[in-house]
């Protein structure tokens, strides 16, 4: 992947997924350090001191999540890496699974040692073929080398890891649905409390972290939690993988230091908008984060605090670039088709609301929109806010109201003229 800039995670190469190369670069040294020189409590303390926040979307501090799991409570504990990566526009965990699978495995071993986990899981998106094969190959190598199983590195630490393949449901990336899916049941999210760290997989304390969040642990143990805080911003330390796609000259996966200037990233690192067209907007962190206009991104830096000041967030790190000339009505239609299709149907506002939103937007695009449709879209989006079991209902509402707030005139034009204001302009984009 030519478009990847690396600061901390791992320099990739054609063979960077192999154990030989990983070890030649010092791989599994952090595991050795943790097992031989640190107690599990010291590992937890380093991770907490690093201040790392989750990279899966909600930016929850990893140390706070881990602190809920009590050592020596006489129960089994479980660890699950969330490799579902279903958020549209997001493909950065895939990069770790394909090019640095041992980084994830070593980090998960350290986390398992810290959290007293005997059985760990990776829940991987069903459509991921190459990432699955790379991860499964790496796991086999790691078992052969004695990094998994009993008596790891000659200590009394034992850990086994199972890779569980999903079946293509977006909602199974939600942590409680993921657990139900591993248990062999239908992947339905469930209400909290109890938190999953109290009652999770098989009713036992379970930590679920995103692949990228976990992959930082090897670095944190090698260099220390304090060193990690020196990178990124005070409130949001470290680096982030950003997958960028859409109307951008150099799409791909980049690693940025958190707090990196947004506009510089787009115009310098990623080569600017496709075909040199003006930028219309960016969905910064997967489709569940609110769209930002070209003007809004100018003063921003790539961190949660900065994006929150503009009403959005870093989300899952999946950036979608939208060039001038793109019809936002049609774009919202694509998003709502997705949400409608993926709603698991448990909550009435989500099940009915997604269908309703989808039908209204389809009608507008078919040239049969009604003046009251815009207010209706707002209203249905608001009904989802805080009334559903999982965050998908909220997310669909935010995505809808976010686009309507900033591009309402395009919806009004479409309804009045029964066609897009941008008919034909996307064709120009295709030919650039």
Ligand X SMILES: Cc1cc2nc3c(=O)[nH]c(=O)nc-3n(C[C@H](O)[C@H](O)[C@H](O)COP(=O)(O)O)c2cc1C
User: Minimum distance between the CB of residue 149 and ligand X, rounded to whole angstroms?
Assistant: 26
Q: Of 38, 139, 171, 377, which lies in the binding site for ligand SF4, with binding defined by CB under 6 A?
A: 171
Q: Give me the phi and psi of 279, to 5 degrees please.
A: -85, 135
Nearer Cβ to ligand SF4 (207/350) = 350
* Enclosing H/E stretch for 301: strand 301-302
d(CA 179, CA 192): 13
Q: Does 386 interact with ligand SF4 (rule: CB under 6 A)?
A: no
Residue 351 binds what, of ligand X, ligand SF4, none (CB under 5 to 8 Å, by partner type)?
ligand SF4
Residue 350 binds what, of ligand SF4, ligand X, none (CB under 5 to 8 Å, by partner type)?
ligand SF4
Residue 413 binds what, of ligand SF4, ligand X, none (CB under 5 to 8 Å, by partner type)?
none
DSSP letters of 100-163?
A: -HHHHHHHHHHHHHHHTEEEEEEEE-TT-SHHHHHHHHHHHHHHHTTSSBSSGGGSS--BEEEE
Residue 57 binds what, of ligand SF4, ligand X, none (CB under 5 to 8 Å, by partner type)?
ligand X
Q: Does 390 interact with ligand SF4 (rule: CB under 6 A)?
A: yes
Residue 209 binds what, of ligand SF4, ligand X, none (CB under 5 to 8 Å, by partner type)?
ligand X
Q: Does 346 interact with ligand SF4 (rule: CB under 6 A)?
A: yes
Per DSSP, the three-state class of 178 is helix
Q: Of 126, 137, 275, 391, which lies in the binding site for ligand X, with binding defined by CB under 6 A?
A: 391
Q: Does 399 interact with ligand SF4 (rule: CB under 6 A)?
A: no
d(CA 126, CA 165): 5
d(CA 107, CA 256): 20
User: Minimum distance between the CB of residue 342 and ligand X, rounded to whole angstroms?
Assistant: 8
Nearer Cβ to ligand X (331/390) = 390
HSE of 161, CA atoms in CB hemisphere, 13 A: 30
162 alpha-carbon distance from chain centroid: 21
Tokens 């049941």 correspond to 185
d(CA 339, CA 356): 11
Residue 421 binds what, of ligand X, ligand SF4, none (CB under 5 to 8 Å, by partner type)?
none
Site for ligand X in 279-338 (CB under 6 A): none
The sign of the torsion formed by the CA atoms of 67, 72, 74, 78 equals: positive
Q: Of 96, 314, 344, 415, which lies in the binding site for ligand SF4, with binding defined by CB under 6 A?
A: 344
**Which residues are at the interface with ligand X (CB under 6 A)?**
54-58, 60, 82, 84-87, 170-171, 173-175, 208-210, 213, 390-392
**Which residues are at the interface with ligand SF4 (CB under 6 A)?**
171, 189, 343-347, 350-351, 388-390, 392-393
């Amino acid at each position: 992947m030519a478009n990847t800039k690396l600061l901390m995670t791992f320099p990739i190469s054609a063979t960077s997924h192999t154990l030989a190369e990983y070890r030649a670069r010092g791989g599994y040294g952090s595991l050795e350090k943790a097992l031989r020189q640190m107690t599990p409590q010291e590992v937890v303390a380093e991770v907490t001191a690093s201040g790392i926040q989750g990279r899966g979307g909600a930016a929850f501090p990893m140390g706070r999540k881990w602190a809920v799991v009590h050592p020596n409570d006489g129960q089994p504990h479980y660890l699950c890496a969330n490799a579902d990566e279903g958020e549209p526009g997001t493909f950065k965990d895939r990069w770790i699974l394909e090019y640095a699978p041992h980084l994830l495995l070593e980090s998960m071993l350290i986390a398992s040692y810290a959290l007293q986990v005997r059985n760990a899981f990776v829940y991987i998106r069903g459509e991921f073929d190459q990432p699955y094969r790379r991860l499964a190959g790496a796991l086999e190598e790691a078992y052969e080398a004695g990094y998994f199983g009993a008596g790891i590195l000659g200590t009394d630490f034992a850990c086994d890891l199972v890779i569980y393949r999903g079946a293509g449901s977006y909602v199974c990336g939600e942590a409680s649905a993921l657990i139900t899916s591993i248990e062999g049941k239908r992947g339905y999210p469930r209400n909290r409390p109890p938190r999953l760290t109290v009652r999770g997989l098989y009713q036992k304390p379970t930590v679920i972290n995103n692949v990228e969040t976990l992959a930082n642990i090897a670095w944190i143990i090698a260099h220390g939690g304090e060193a990690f805080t020196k990178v990124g911003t005070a409130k949001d330390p470290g680096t982030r993988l950003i997958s960028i796609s859409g109307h951008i000259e150099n799409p791909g996966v980049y690693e940025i230091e958190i707090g990196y200037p947004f506009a510089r990233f787009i115009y310098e690192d990623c080569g600017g908008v496709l075909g040199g067209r003006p930028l219309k907007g960016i969905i910064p962190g997967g489709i569940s984060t609110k769209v930002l206009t070209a003007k809004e991104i100018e003063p921003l830096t790539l961190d949660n605090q900065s994006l929150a000041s503009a009403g959005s967030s870093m989300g899952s790190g999946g950036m979608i670039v939208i060039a001038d000339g793109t019809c936002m009505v049609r774009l919202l239609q694509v998003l709502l088709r997705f949400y409608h299709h993926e709603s698991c149907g448990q909550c009435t506002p989500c099940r009915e609301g997604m269908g309703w939103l989808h039908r209204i937007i389809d009608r507008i695009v078919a040239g049969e929109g009604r003046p009251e449709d815009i207010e209706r879209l707002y209203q249905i989006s608001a009904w989802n806010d805080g009334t559903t079991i999982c965050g998908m209902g909220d997310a669909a509402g935010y995505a809808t109201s976010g686009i309507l707030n900033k591009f309402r005139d395009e919806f009004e034009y479409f309804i009045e003229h029964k066609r897009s204001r941008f008919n034909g302009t996307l064709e120009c984009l295709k030919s650039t």
